[in-house]
C-alpha cells in the first residue's frame, strides 16, 4: 500500500486531494473574510494540508544517502525554484502587482516557499536523520523556538523551513508497516471521520480570525501580535492538533486506482502554475465583484477542480516538462 519502490496509488490519491485543497484554499483566500463557511474551510485546510504534503515528501526522502541524491534534489527542486522565481517576478511586474521588476532570489514568491523549504529539508536530513526520534523532538523544539526570533520570516523561507520541518522528518522516520498499522487499524476510519467532522465544527464555532497567521508559519510571534512564553505553548498545541487532523485525513485515503489518481503524479505542475491563474483572478477582477463569488460554493469547487484537471493533464506535463523538470 505504501511502498517506496514503485508508485503508490495510496499516496497519489492523497496528493491528488491535497493539491485540490491547495488550489481551493488559495482561490478562497481573498473571499474568506466575506463568508463564515469559507473562513472555516480555509482555516481547516491550512491547518493540515501543507503539513500532510510535507509528511509525504519526507516519506519519499528515505534515499537521501544514495549517490547522486543531492544533485537530483538540486535539479528537481532548487533549479525549478530559481526558474519560477524569475518567471513570477516578471509576471507580478506585468500584471501590476509589483511597481518595479526585481529579481530577488532570496525571498520566495508566494507558493514558491515550498520548493525552497523542500530543498532545505533534504539538507537537514543529513543532520537529523541519524538522531531518529530524538531528532524529531529537537525539530519540534526548534520549530517552537524559531518563533521567538523577531526578524525570522520569508528570507530563504527560514521561518516555514523550521516550523514545518517536524512534519517532513516524521514522514522520513515512518516506515511502511508503521504507517499501515496507524491508518489501517480497525477503528482508524470511523475515528478519522470523527476527527475531521469535529475539527470543522470546532473551527466553525470558535476559531479567531486573527489566528490565521499561525497556520501559515511564515513569521515570528512578535509579527503576529505578541511575544509571550505562552506563544511557544500555543505552537506546541498546534503541532499536536495538526498531527491528529493529518491522521484523520490519511485514514480516509483509498488505495484504489481512479481516473483522477494520475493527477497525484503531476502535483508539481499544478503547484507551480496555478498561481498564474489565481493571481490573475485577484489582479483583474475588482474586489467588489470578487466578493460576489463568496457564497457560490459549487462554482468555487468547480473552478478549483478544473484548474487541477487542466494543469495536471498529460498535455500540460508534455509541453512544460522542459521548464519544470529540465527534460526535453
Give pLDDT, residue 328: 57
Among the ranges given (120-129, 140-149, 200-209), the one the predictor scored with the smallest mean pLDDT:
200-209
pLDDT band at 74 (very low <50, low <70, confident <90, very high): very high
Residue 4, pLDDT > 70, answer no
Judge whether 146 and 159 are in contact, CB under 8 Å: yes
pLDDT tens-digit map of 276-308: 999 888 877 776 677 777 778 999 999 999 999
Residue 6, pLDDT > 90, answer no
Give pLDDT, residue 123: 96
State phi, psi for 219 to the nearest 5 degrees. Answer: -155, 175
Maximum Cα interatomic distance, the chain, rounded to a whole number of Å: 58
Give pLDDT, residue 186: 87
Give pLDDT, residue 140: 97
For residues 37-45, give the mean pLDDT. 95
Buried b or exposed e, range 93-111, using 16+ CB within 10 angstroms: eeeeeeeeeeeeeeebbeb
Residue 5, pLDDT > 80, answer no
Give pLDDT, residue 2: 45
Q: Residue 164: CB partners within 8 Å, gap ≥ 6?
A: 50, 51, 54, 117, 121, 143, 217
For residues 253-263, give the mean pLDDT. 92
Give pLDDT, residue 206: 86
Give pLDDT, residue 282: 81
For residues 76-104, give the mean pLDDT. 90
Domain ranges of the chain: 9-324
Query: In this structure, what C-alpha cell is assigned to residue 160?
Result: 516555514
For residues 171-199, give the mean pLDDT. 93
Residue 1, pLDDT > 50, answer no
What percent of the chain stands above pLDDT 90? 73
If you count DSSP H runs as helices and E runs as strands, how many of each does the chain have, helices first? Answer: 15, 0
Judge whether 307 and 270 are in contact, CB under 8 Å: yes
Judge whether 59 and 253 are in contact, CB under 8 Å: no
Taking the C-alpha atoms of residue 120 and residue 115, their distance in angstroms, rounded to an integer, is 9
* DSSP-derived 3-state class of residue 254: coil
- Other C-beta atoms closer than 10 Å to the C-beta of 68 total 9
Q: Residue 316: CB partners within 8 Å, gap ≥ 6?
A: 266, 269, 273, 310
Query: In this structure, what C-alpha cell is assigned to residue 85?
Result: 522565481
Taking the C-alpha atoms of residue 316 and residue 2, their distance in angstroms, rounded to an integer, is 27
Taking the C-alpha atoms of residue 283 and residue 91, their distance in angstroms, rounded to an integer, is 11
Amino acid at each position: 500500500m505504501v511502498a517506496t519502490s514503485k508508485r503508490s496509488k495510496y499516496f497519489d490519491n492523497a496528493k491528488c486531494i491535497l493539491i485540490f485543497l491547495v488550489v481551493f484554499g488559495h482561490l478562497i483566500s481573498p473571499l474568506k473574510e466575506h463568508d463564515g463557511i469559507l473562513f472555516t474551510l480555509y482555516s481547516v485546510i491550512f491547518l493540515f494540508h501543507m503539513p500532510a504534503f510535507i509528511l509525504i515528501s519526507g516519506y519519499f526522502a528515505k534515499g537521501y544517502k544514495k549517490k547522486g541524491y543531492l544533485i537530483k534534489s538540486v535539479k528537481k527542486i532548487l533549479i525549478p525554484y530559481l526558474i519560477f522565481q524569475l518567471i513570477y517576478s516578471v509576471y507580478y511586474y506585468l500584471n501590476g502587482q509589483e511597481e518595479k521588476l526585481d529579481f530577488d532570489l532570496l525571498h520566495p514568491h508566494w507558493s514558491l516557499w515550498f520548493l525552497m523549504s523542500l530543498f532545505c529539508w533534504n539538507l537537514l536530513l543529513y543532520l537529523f536523520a541519524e538522531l531518529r526520534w530524538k531528532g524529531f523532538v529537537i525539530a519540534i523544539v526548534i520549530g517552537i523556538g524559531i518563533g521567538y526570533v523577531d526578524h525570522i520570516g520569508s528570507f530563504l523561507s527560514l521561518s516555514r523551513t523550521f516550523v514545518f520541518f517536524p512534519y517532513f522528518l516524521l514522514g522520513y522516520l515512518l516506515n511502511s508497516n508503521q504507517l499501515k498499522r496507524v491508518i489501517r487499524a480497525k477503528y482508524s476510519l470511523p475515528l478519522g471521520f470523527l476527527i475531521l467532522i469535529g475539527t470543522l465544527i470546532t473551527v466553525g464555532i470558535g476559531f479567531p480570525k486573527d489566528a490565521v497567521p499561525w497556520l501559515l508559519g511564515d513569521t515570528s510571534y512578535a509579527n503576529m501580535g505578541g511575544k509571550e512564553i505562552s506563544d511557544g505553548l500555543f505552537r506546541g498545541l498546534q503541532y499536536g492538533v495538526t498531527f491528529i487532523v493529518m491522521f484523520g485525513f490519511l485514514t480516509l485515503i483509498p488505495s484504489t486506482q481512479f481516473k483522477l489518481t494520475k493527477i497525484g503524479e503531476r502535483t508539481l505542475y499544478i503547484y507551480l502554475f496555478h498561481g498564474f491563474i489565481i493571481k490573475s483572478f485577484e489582479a483583474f477582477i475588482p474586489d467588489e465583484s470578487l466578493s460576489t463569488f463568496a457564497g457560490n460554493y459549487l462554482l468555487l469547487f468547480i473552478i478549483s477542480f478544473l484548474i487541477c484537471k487542466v494543469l495536471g493533464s498529460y498535455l500540460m506535463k508534455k509541453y512544460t516538462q522542459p521548464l519544470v523538470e529540465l527534460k526535453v
